[in-house]
Copies of this chain bind each other. A is one copy, B any other.
Amino acid sequence: MRVGVLTGGGDCPGLNAVIRAIVRKGVQEYGYSFTGFRDGWRGPLDDATVRLDIPAVRGILPRGGTVLGSSRTNPLQAEDGVRCIRDTLARHGVDALITIGGEDTLGVAARLSGEHGIPCVGVPKTIDNDLSATDYTFGFDTAVGIATEAIDRLHTTAESHMRVLVVEVMGRHAGWIALHSGLAGGANVILIPEQRFDVDQVCSWVTSRFRASYAPIVVVAEGAVPRDGDMVLKDGTLDSFGHVRLSGIGEWLAKQIEKRTGKEARTTVLGHVQRGGTPSAFDRWLATRFGLHAIDAVRDGDFGTMVALRGTDIVRVPLGEATARLKTVDPKLYAEVGVFFG
């Protein structure tokens, strides 16, 4: 039995832990051989491979990133993509494919498995924690930890200067990182993509915080949008050449707060720091268990499935399920956390 492995999409702490667990168990317990495909779906498409055996996975557990490289290549959009993949797998004698990735990568795996009979097992990966089929995905805990540590640090600078500090964290479509790190960091306002925010309400929380003689921290997901969403585009500072990418919602919000409350406001955009570096212990645990269970699914011939966390158990769910629905923040949970605003 020879198993192919690839990692697709944005990088995420824990990818290497998954790869190591797959190879260690596959080789030691089942006697499998492995072929690593380079840079996500580009690997089987272009026949780009990496040696993948026990020595190749030594020492990678604590390392961020992925030794296989990653890309956002979609083989279903390439001419003859499916045939290319099938040929590459045949050429290397690969009997099954473990694909580690997010919505896009797993969506391809679901179709290759379901429509084209290529035996795939999936491992969910999204730093944003927005896959509905699993309680948590690895990488998320690391990102929340990094953002929380940054917020901890910003408290002292906010207090010393009685300034508003706006922290922009990852989360285009789901506010999980903002919610968890904002709560853990003791933020006074948390804004998420799931609920449009009212700038005046934000300013009123900010002001009430100052009245208590403490300086506010505002955590905002990059995908958060004000109630009158058009104002971001109409606003003088933002209306030309790709400003949203340039300065983002955090910068925009800080300016609004300054203008409306008369208080100094500063922005910190955490950016890629949140997705790099060594995974937290939680993420190494989860990623390793995902890897161990993925290779078990291969051994069981349970293709078209994906491993997932439910409580403290690792279960298997249909690959299609993983990509069916974005897991967004429940309004009830957001309301629960709202007690700390202001």
Contact = CB atoms under 8 A, between A and B. Distances in A.
A182 to B, nearest CB: 10
Contact of A183 (B145, B236, B285): B285
Contacts of A84: none
A8 to B, nearest CB: 11
Contacts of A162: 69
Chain A facing B: main interface SS: helix
A237 B275 CA distance: 27
Contact of A284 (B11, B159, B184): B184
Contacts of A228: none
Contacts of A237: 241, 246
Interface string A115-151: 0000000000000000000011000010011111110
Interface of A: 10-11, 13, 15, 21, 24-25, 28-29, 58-59, 61-66, 69-71, 135-136, 141, 144-150, 152-157, 159-162, 165, 180-181, 183-186, 214, 236-237, 241, 246-247, 251, 266-273, 275-278, 280-282, 284-285, 288-289, 292, 310-312, 336, 339-340
25 contacts: A13-B156, A15-B160, A21-B339, A24-B340, A25-B339, A28-B339, A64-B155, A64-B156, A69-B161, A71-B161, A141-B282, A144-B281, A144-B282, A145-B280, A148-B284, A149-B277, A152-B277, A155-B276, A165-B272, A180-B281, A185-B281, A246-B247, A269-B271, A270-B273, A280-B280
